[in-house]
Chain A
């Protein structure tokens, strides 16, 4: 089972993993807002969001940056999904998922696909400095659909 968590998406709103029971959830842990590239991982996901929605999947992005940084970052990059602050106590949720880099105090670039019952069905850790793209997530969501179709038949 994926550990539940509750993190701020805005200064006065919290998002819990359990809110999304009944639909697939993609968790995208990432090191930091404002990565110095033209198109970072999350901008790409914002563009691929319609594909994720075809699987009724929700995407939650998580880093240790604070909520004000997240809000400015999400606005600048036109992100269309919640960006959660694993800020205080720092990195607690990232640690629970084994996606925290102790030495530098940032989340790792780790992806999880969680099914409608809250079970982790796929995970991926990118090597340092490599943006994983969206292909692995889409394949995992497809496999979820296939597995469910098999169960039903």
Chain B
């Protein structure tokens, strides 16, 4: 943008305070990269582990924008099929969303019993119920999970460290809000809609 060209003012020494100057930064701009590589041991991965294309989302279960992005990701998965592996990492914005940490812990507790993705999907499909833990518990039981273990692990915050590790890894990778997507390890600065994501996935 031409507005940025006025940015660099010279000090008496002739050196700019803001370096490199605005125009150069825009031209040489490089989006942040995923600092924490996708790991089959640690990550929640949907799709073939060795798929050619990788989409990573840092998300918050209570965030309305993540809720809006959820069906878009489904569309991307449907379109690209086995070419794509989709990875979800936790980025609960607890200062904005009071139920975000509990929801992340709920999904992790389901994951401990092998049902991460059904619970992940359920939480996004039932965002308005996030303040009521009985809803997710009923679903956990429907999935055949051990309800007592599930409830206990959430109450004892067993997975909170893992969730916070996800968060800090995201911060170091330049996550700047939710949802933040990485397409083949580069932060996606465009819209969180299927069309934009598919286009970038197919062209990197």
Taking beta carbons and an 8 Å cutoff, which residues of A are in contact with B? Answer: 2-3, 37-41, 43-44, 46-48, 51, 77-78, 95-104, 108, 110, 112, 120, 123-128, 130-136, 138
Question: Using Cβ atoms and an 8 Å threshold, which residues of chain A touch B172?
Answer: 135, 138
Question: Using Cβ atoms and an 8 Å threshold, which residues of chain A touch B93?
Answer: 38-39, 43-44, 47
Question: Using Cβ atoms and an 8 Å threshold, which residues of chain B touch A135?
Answer: 32, 35, 171-174
Say whether, besides A51-B171, A130-B189, A38 and B64 are in contact (CB < 8 Å).
yes
Taken together as a complex, chains A and B put the C-alpha atoms of A40 and B20 apart, in Å, by 24
Interface residues of B in 151-189 (CB under 8 A from A): 167-168, 171-178, 189
Whether B63 sits at the interface, judged by CB under 8 Å, is: yes
Contacts between the two chains (Cβ within 8 Å), count: 116
CB–CB B171/A97 < 8 A: no
Interface residues of B in 73-130 (CB under 8 A from A): 93-96
CB–CB A78/B9 < 8 A: no
Chain B interface helix/strand/loop/mixed:
loop
B182 to chain A, nearest CB (A): 12
CB–CB A133/B174 < 8 A: yes
CB–CB B7/A133 < 8 A: no
CB–CB B2/A44 < 8 A: no
Quick one: closest A residue to B189, CB to CB?
Answer: A130
0/1 string, B1-33, CB within 8 A of A gives 1: 111101111000000111110100110010010
Taken together as a complex, chains A and B put the C-alpha atoms of A127 and B31 apart, in Å, by 10
Q: How large is the interface on B (under 10, 10 to 19, 20 to 34, 35 or more residues)?
A: 35 or more
B100 to chain A, nearest CB (A): 11
A54 to chain B, nearest CB (A): 11
Q: List 14 other contacts, CB 8 Å, given A2-B17, A125-B22.
A: A43-B93, A43-B96, A47-B93, A97-B17, A101-B3, A101-B4, A108-B22, A123-B19, A125-B7, A127-B26, A128-B4, A131-B176, A135-B172, A136-B174
CB–CB A47/B17 < 8 A: no
Question: Using Cβ atoms and an 8 Å threshold, which residues of chain B touch A100?
Answer: 6-7
Taken together as a complex, chains A and B put the C-alpha atoms of A43 and B7 apart, in Å, by 25
CB–CB A120/B25 < 8 A: no
Taken together as a complex, chains A and B put the C-alpha atoms of A123 and B20 apart, in Å, by 8
CB–CB A98/B7 < 8 A: yes
Say whether, besides A51-B171, A98-B7, A134-B171, A38 and B19 are in contact (CB < 8 Å).
no
A102 to chain B, nearest CB (A): 5
Taken together as a complex, chains A and B put the C-alpha atoms of A108 and B25 apart, in Å, by 13
Taken together as a complex, chains A and B put the C-alpha atoms of A104 and B17 apart, in Å, by 21
Question: Using Cβ atoms and an 8 Å threshold, which residues of chain B touch A44?
Answer: 93, 171, 175-177
Which 10 pairs, one residue from A and one from B, show the smallest C-beta to C-beta distance?
A: A133-B176, A39-B177, A131-B176, A133-B174, A98-B18, A98-B9, A135-B174, A101-B3, A127-B26, A78-B95
